Structures are given as C-alpha cells and as structure tokens.
Structure 1
Amino acid sequence: MPTTHALRALTAATALTLAATPTAAHARPDYPGHTTSHYITATGTPRDTAYADDAGCAAAATGQNGLRILFLGTQEHPDRLRHPGTTAHTTTPRIPAGDTIDIAAAYAAGFTRCNDSGTTAHLALGVNNKDDGGITGRRAGRQWARIVDAAADRADTADVTVTGAVDAEPSWSSPAWARAWVDAYTATTDRRLYAANSAGGCPTPGQSTTACNNGWTLDDIHHLATGAAPTVHALPQIYRTDGIQARQWAHVSAWGLRHRDQPLRAAGALSQHTACTQRGGCARTHNTPRDAWTQLRDALDDHPTAPTPRLPYASDMRWP
C-alpha cells in the first residue's frame, strides 16, 4: 500500500493538476479572492522561523485557499541569500541558502496548527534573477531546485504544497543568465515554478517590435514564464494602475501562441498594494489585488485566439 507520505504527495499533485485545468473557451473566470505573499528579510536568527510560523498561522486563519510566495531575495556565491530589494554593495545580513528549508517548515507548521477550516496552500519559495551575486544562472537554478525539494520533504503536511518561484525582470540580468536559471531549475526538479516576472519594456498589442528592456525579447519573456517547461506557470506582476502591464502580458501570450503554439500558462496576477501602503513611493503601481487580477483577465480575454485561462490565484505582496 502507498505510504502516508506518498498519498499526500499524490493528493498535492492532483490538486496542482486541477488548478491548472483551463475553463472552456470564452468563459470569463470570477475573481478568486487574494492571498498574502511576503518579502522575507531573514537575519539568520530564531526570529526568522518565528516570523514564518506567525505568517503561516495568519494565512490559515483567512480561510483563503491558494498560492503564497515567500521571496527571499538574491542568490550569492557560494550558497548565500541577501535581502530583497538590495544590491551586492549593501551590508544587510546574508544567510545560508539552506535556511530557507527551516523557514518553509516553520510556515507550514504555523499554517497547519491554525488551520481550522480545511484551507490549503501552495507555498512557493522564491528568489530573483539579479546576477550580481557572483553565481552563474545554471548553478543558481540548480541550487534553488534542490532547496525547494528539500523544503518540500521537511514541510510534511497535507495542508501545504511547497513549490518554487522566481521574480525574473529584464533590468536585473542578461536574458542568458535568466534562461540558464530557469532551464537548470526545471531540469533538476519537477516541482512547479511560479514565474512572478515583469515584462519591462515589452510591446503591447498593435506594436510590431519584439524588443523588451536590457536586450530581452518576447521570446525570452515567454520562455521564462511558460516555454521552459510544462511545470512553469506565470503569475505576472500587474502593478500599474493604467493596465499597461496586463496588456504587455496579453501580447506575450499572443506571441507565444503564434510562434510557439503555446499561449501564456497563466495562474493569476501578483500585486503590491500592501507593500506600497507600508513603504510608499508607488506612483501608479499600487493596483489592488482585485484590480490587478481583473486587468490581466480582461487583457487576455481581448485576444480571442486563445481561451482565457482560469486564473485561480491573486496574491498581494507585503513587507514583514
């Protein structure tokens, strides 16, 4: 007979498959409600797991199923992480990349302890594509896949499915570095990767160029958010209130369908409304989770060549 662990893994895999199943063509999905995702500013002290435990408990108490991302920052050589939103010259604490495993286990424990309503979560452990950490994209992607696998083994609960995430943005690395990262990740693990990426500088429908910022192209954007492997699912950043980011991603989807026979494998939208409220400085980039999700749905729906995906997730970023 299958072990309890195997049954849990089968249940989680089934849930992931169902989440990815699209609706019929031309159906307009309804807003699913939003979860809270976190930027993690870890210090290498017991505070890190205590915070993760509290965050997991708070997430379960909402009763909202779905995806939550913990963004832990930038990978540095050989196996360190530095805080989100920093550069190689900052003096913020670095932690061993392996500390992520303890943080994930604490989040899962808090979620399970406070889960009185049968809520489930996909916990995606994420890093960004900043290439200033002295580590190659190939090594970084492979390293992160192994950490996600180890975290999934530690967070042994039917309530939480541990997966990976990446925040890949054109301004932060060469396209070759980012491609090497995602290709190495998907070659090392079959655990889902949520691509919470930007499409900075990319065209919108009606424009003929394929160029994006920093030498990236629509081909790069599509590869990192869908094309690299069937396990890659897009949760694009839809921060701007004018809707241009949603239109950029709709164009990425249309390009993928036309040139790769593969529209965007979209799982939902990411916003930063809470993070903006906490820190300010978000002129025109403070969409609410509902507005971000709705903009993406409507932009994708404007391209009748591909059915609108179900978009099961909306998540909003916050700082600790």
Structure 2
Amino acid sequence: MRFNRRRAALLATIPLAALSLTALPATAASAPAATVSRYVPLAGTSADATAARNAGCEEGKTGRGGVRILFFGTQEKNNVLRHPGTRADSSTPRVPAAQAAAFAAQWAEGFTSCRTGTAQAILALGVNNKSDGGVGGADAGRAWARVVEDAAKTVPAGPVSIAAAFDAEPVWSDRAWARGWVDAFTGATSRSLYAANSADGCPGYGSSSTSCSNGWSLADLHYVATGAAPSIRAIPQIYRTDGIQARQWAAISAWGARSGKGNVRFVGAMSQRKACEQRGGCSTTNNTPQAAWTQLYEELNSHSDTKVAELPYSTDMRWP
C-alpha cells in the first residue's frame, strides 16, 4: 500500500468487462471526516521524536477521533525495518523495529497535549507483506506483535489506544507468507489488527472467478482481512476513481457469505489523495477520502449479501 506509478498502471489494465458494474443506490450515508495516516521512514535519530510529536499534535488539534495508521515499511532479518516504498536493494537506513514503538509513544504524547475536545485516537502501527527481507511470515508476525505490545506499554492510559495494521498485497508475497504473518500475529496478541489491504487482480462482484494475482484467491484475501481472527478489522485501499476496488472488496465479502465464513469485517476505507499530491499527482488512483468511503459504502449496500450498517472510519495516506 503506497503511491506507486507502476502498480497504478497495472491496476488500470484490469478489464472493466471482467468486473461487475452494478448500479449504485441513489443516496448513501455521509462519509465520516477523514483522519490522516502516514508512511514513516524512520531516520534512527532524534528527528524521529520531533516528527512523531508534531504529527500527533497536528491530528489532536483536529478534535477528530478514529483510526490513524503509521506504516513503517518492510520487516527484515535481525528485527530491523526498511523504509516504506523501497526495495531490498535500497540503500536507505535500516533501523531497529523497536524504534517504531518509540515513535508511537511520541505521537501519542503530541496528540494528547494538543487535542481539542474529547477525541479518542486508535493508533495502528503497520508493516507490509513484502517477503524480500529475509524473514519468514510467521517470524515477522510474531516480531511485530512484540513491537505493538511494547508500544502499548509505553503509552499511558488516555485518549490514544494502540493497535496494529497490516498492508497485505498479493503482488508482494505468496499467500502462505501473508497467512503465516497474520496467524502468528493474532496468535501472539489480542490487539486489534487493521487490514489495509489491496485486492490485486481479484474479480469484481458478480464474477464467477475467484482468482487474484500471484496465486492468491478470494479466500486468501478474506482470510487476511477477517477470517483469521475476530480481532481483525478491514479498512481496505479504495484508491481507484472508477470504483473497481470497491467492487473487488464486495466480491471478497460475498465469497465469505457464500462459503459460511462470514462477511468481511469492514470498518472504513483508505484513500491516498494527499500522498498523490505530494508525489506529483496520480491519474486514476487519487480518490478523495469522501469518494473512497462512498464507493465502498454504496457498493456493499448494493447487494443483499454484502450490506453493512455502518463504516465508521475514513483515513487518507500521506508522506511525512
């Protein structure tokens, strides 16, 4: 989950004819005010603490509750993190994963000191499923559970609660790696895990296909977004302006209903409008937060087997 022109171009090649173009309802509930989620390329210096406090303070001043996700990038062997949006051959600094917990503590301090009103923030610490870091999925999941639990110990009781996030994308690992990560994480902690996933190559609602990219299936996407444990909540990437991603997630949820696994446990939608603006613009993946949320809400409520009563959260990605 990141701004990536190559992946945007790949998404744009998905044939519309292969995806259900179901008519949407005439009206929908109003989208909630969006929170700001961030990619966090840790520097491993005192600048991290300043950046964290400033980011938390900025969100506290909005007086807005809800989920905020901090994506720290890719887990590598020896329990270090590689910057978001980089490859294994990148020369960017690697920093100990423990520094993500320290960043969270400073973010919480900033939010608490600057907040207006009684806003409560859920701060979800996230990584992706890139499997090129020399660590197995299960080991990575257990290691991230320790980071999240350590962060929770350093954040005092108050307006900020600590959770986790996972950006699972089929093009980044085989399905076994991602399933192993989720199983290990949820086996090690009961803290909420926010699934901010993509559904690369999956069909839209109404298709007879169940296949997605890189050998994944609807069953795999459902598993890592809901099925693996009751602590998982889905807040998927709805970047595309043409609504394809909302239709893909409706298909995943409908698969769950048909198979007896249950609908996807949706809690909101993720957009990347700000990240696109910061990187010079996106041609087809720059939904506004309101548009992303509305696409998902309306698509789900267009079908009797995917209806949702509410989607309480909307969040928009940005770079620091």
| TM-score higher than 0.5 | yes
- 1:28: Cα distance to partner? 5.4
- 1:309: Cα distance to partner? 3.8
Residues 151-160 or 305-314, more deviating? 305-314
Partner of 2:277: 277
- 1:261: Cα distance to partner? 3.6
Q: Which amino acid aligns with 1:112?
A: T
- Identity score, percent: 54
1:202 is paired with a residue whose SS is coil
Matched, 1:70 2:70: yes
Residues 303-312 or 48-57, more deviating? 303-312
Whole-Å separation in 1 of the counterparts to 2:258 and 2:71: 33
Partner of 1:145: 145
Residues 273-282 or 121-130, more deviating? 273-282
Matched, 1:96 2:103: no
Partner of 1:245: 245
Partner of 2:207: 207
After TM superposition, the structure 1 = structure 2 runs for residues 306-317 of structure 1, keeping only pairs within 5 Å, are: 306-317=306-317
- Alpha-carbon spacing, 1:264–1:298, altered in 2? closer, same or farther (3 Å): same
- 1:29: Cα distance to partner? 4.0
In structure 2, the gaps of 5 or more residues are 1-26
Partner of 1:190: 190
Whole-Å separation in 1 of the counterparts to 2:305 and 2:102: 44
Whole-Å separation in 1 of the counterparts to 2:184 and 2:309: 27
Partner of 2:135: 135
Partner of 2:256: 256
2:102 is paired with a residue whose SS is helix
Whole-Å separation in 2 of the counterparts to 1:257 and 1:78: 40
Q: Deviations over 1:282-310 (max 9, x none)?
A: 22000000000000001100111243141
Partner of 1:235: 235
Matched, 1:34 2:34: yes
Whole-Å separation in 1 of the counterparts to 2:119 and 2:294: 24
Contact 1:273–1:287 (CA under 8 A) maintained in structure 2: yes
Whole-Å separation in 2 of the counterparts to 1:156 and 1:45: 23
Contact 1:266–1:309 (CA under 8 A) maintained in structure 2: no
Q: Which amino acid aligns with 2:292?
A: A
Q: Deviations over 1:26-79 (max 9, x none)?
A: x95431110000000111001111101000000000111100000000000020
Partner of 1:220: 220
Whole-Å separation in 2 of the counterparts to 1:188 and 1:309: 31
Q: Deviations over 1:129-175 (max 9, x none)?
A: 00000000000000001110110110113100100001000000000
Superposition TM-score, scaled by structure 2 size: 0.90
Q: Deviations over 1:181-211 (max 9, x none)?
A: 0000000000000000000100012211110
Q: Which amino acid aligns with 2:301?
A: D
Partner of 2:171: 171
Contact 2:227–2:261 (CA under 8 A) maintained in structure 1: no
Matched, 1:157 2:133: no
Contact 2:80–2:94 (CA under 8 A) maintained in structure 1: yes
In structure 1, the gaps of 5 or more residues are 1-26
Paired residues, number: 294
Q: Which amino acid aligns with 1:109?
A: E
2:317 is paired with a residue whose SS is strand
Partner of 1:80: 80
Whole-Å separation in 2 of the counterparts to 1:115 and 1:157: 15
Contact 2:62–2:116 (CA under 8 A) maintained in structure 1: no
Whole-Å separation in 1 of the counterparts to 2:301 and 2:192: 25
- 1:280: Cα distance to partner? 2.4
Q: Deviations over 1:245-278 (max 9, x none)?
A: 0000011001111113400100100000000000
Q: Deviations over 1:12-35 (max 9, x none)?
A: xxxxxxxxxxxxxxx954311100
1:156 is paired with a residue whose SS is coil
Contact 2:272–2:287 (CA under 8 A) maintained in structure 1: yes
Partner of 2:111: 111
Q: Which amino acid aligns with 2:102?
A: D
Partner of 1:292: 292
Superposition TM-score, scaled by structure 1 size: 0.90
1:55 is paired with a residue whose SS is helix
Structure 1 outlier segments of 4+, above 6 Å:
none
1:158 is paired with a residue whose SS is coil
Whole-Å separation in 2 of the counterparts to 1:203 and 1:227: 19
1:247 is paired with a residue whose SS is helix
Residues 101-110 or 276-285, more deviating? 276-285
Whole-Å separation in 1 of the counterparts to 2:305 and 2:75: 39
